[in-house]
Structure 1
Amino acid sequence: KDCYDVVSTVGTNIYMQNGTVTCDTQLGIVNMQNGTFTYGDADSAETVLDITLLNLWNGTFNWQPAEAAATITRANLYGGTLDGSSTTNSANGKVITTTYLYSGATLDIANNRGNVTLTNLYRHGGSLIVDKGAKIAITYNQP
């Protein structure tokens, strides 16, 4: 846990306007306006690669943590791409607990493994890309 507040046990918050970031540590809030953010790498020795809240307005967030069951607790996808389709660390399952997907945003979880779990998906537009043969359970008229 490279960037971790030891005193209050809270993950680091990142507010990104533009540019390129590569990160391999637990995060609290990620507010991403634009740019490229790569979360995780092939040589990661970190554990607990979770994100509490991801707000994505534009750009690309590459989600490839080297940890089984790495979790994004809530993802608000207003624009840009949350890309979980990389072959890097694709054997590790990933979880998004609650996702809000809006027009102009893309959620790509087609990693040819079928091991990404979306617990609650609220789609208000946007594009959802999943693996062929993926099982999807849908409930309509939810808040």
Structure 2
Amino acid sequence: RSTGATGEDADDGIAVGETGGIDFDLLHIKKGHIGDIGASGERLHTSASKIIIEGSGTYYIEVSESIVSADQAIPLIIVNNKAATVYLTSNRNDGSYCCEFTQVIVLAGIVHIGDSNIDTAVQTLIISPRGNRAALVNVIIHEDCERFKATTYKMSIYMSNGSCTMDSGALLIDLRRGTFTYGTDLAGSPETGLDIETLRMYGGTFYWNPDDSGDDAYIDNAYLFGGAFNAAETINNDRAKTLGKDGNSEIFVFEGAVLDIANGKGNITIFAGAALWNYGGVITVDNHTQLGISYDTY
């Protein structure tokens, strides 16, 4: 536990093979702590049962056991300081071993999940800024942030406000308010598998720009109860995408919601057999688009 006001940094002797990989019941970095813990080349390796970060430094936390070749989990990590920058990574995440974060809750701060060439497993991410103040939280989810060992999974995200950018596949995105940007320009290193199984929107703005080199990124099912779904930006608009992945997929656009897929490229399609339902929402498509229309017979 870090108590009182201190500016001391801890960036040596904290990795596996040194004094790292330690189990804690609780690692609590309190508000008075203004130093840094870890660095990009020397992360704090731990398998603490719970981590609470309320300090205002930069923190590199890597879930790990005391040896490299072992599964491990940090069940809960909470970040709660707008002046904190936190990097969360997995020491192992492959077909043999997985070091994972079970639940990450961000109340305030800048949080990076994954980092350059570090595949990181997070099961559930909750973005819930204190007082519903969007400016308190910014989350960046890097590439390949999913569990690769059986049983595999992709991340589920529940976001009540704030900002989030993601370049990994997702099991669920539940957006209430704020800005969620799905996909950035990955330049010479585009990804594959940038798919979303379920999207639920009640408000906010969702940008759909996956830089998927397979030109086959999809959203399986979407429920737009409100907010603005925007796939009309120029970023990565050369990448083909589909709403739906099979004949059982459904996209619902309810009153108060906007679905804009007019990106000027004509490469956003509805999967053959999938259903796009309009229940009073606004749907915008490119010019020269051919639509097949049928009516609900309920």
TM-score band, normalised by shorter chain = over 0.9
Q: Name the counterpart of 1:90.
A: 237
Q: Name the counterpart of 1:3.
A: 145
Could you tell me how far apart the structure 2 residues matched to 1:125 and 1:3 are?
A: 36
Q: Name the counterpart of 2:255.
A: 103
Q: Name the counterpart of 1:46.
A: 191
* Gap regions ≥5 residues in structure 2: 1-142, 245-249
* TM-fit CA distance, 1:9: 1.7
Cα distance per residue 1:20-41 (max 9 Å; x no partner): 0000000000000100000011
* TM-fit CA distance, 1:115: 1.0
Select the residue among 9, 15, 19 that pairs with 2:162. 19
Q: Name the counterpart of 1:65.
A: 210
Cα distance per residue 1:49-94 (max 9 Å; x no partner): 0000000000000000011120000010000011011111111111
Cα distance per residue 1:84-124 (max 9 Å; x no partner): 11111111111111210000000000000111112310111
Moved over 4 A (4+): none
Q: Kindly tell me: are residues 131 and 9 of structure 1, through their superposed partners in 2, closer, same or farther at Cα, counting changes over 3 Å?
A: same
* TM-fit CA distance, 1:142: 5.0
AA partner of residue 263 (structure 2): N
Paired residues in the alignment total 143
Secondary structure at 1:11 match in 2: strand
Secondary structure at 1:87 match in 2: coil
Secondary structure at 1:52 match in 2: strand
The 10-residue stretch of structure 1 (114-123 or 94-103) with the greater mean CA deviation from structure 2:
114-123
AA partner of residue 140 (structure 1): Y
Identity %: 38
Q: Name the counterpart of 2:200.
A: 55
Could you tell me how far apart the structure 2 residues matched to 1:141 and 1:20 are?
A: 36
* TM-fit CA distance, 1:45: 2.7
Q: CA RMSD in A?
A: 1.3
AA partner of residue 194 (structure 2): L
* TM-fit CA distance, 1:5: 1.6
Q: Which has the higher contact order (CA 8 A, sep 6+)?
A: 1
* TM-fit CA distance, 1:135: 1.1
AA partner of residue 45 (structure 1): P
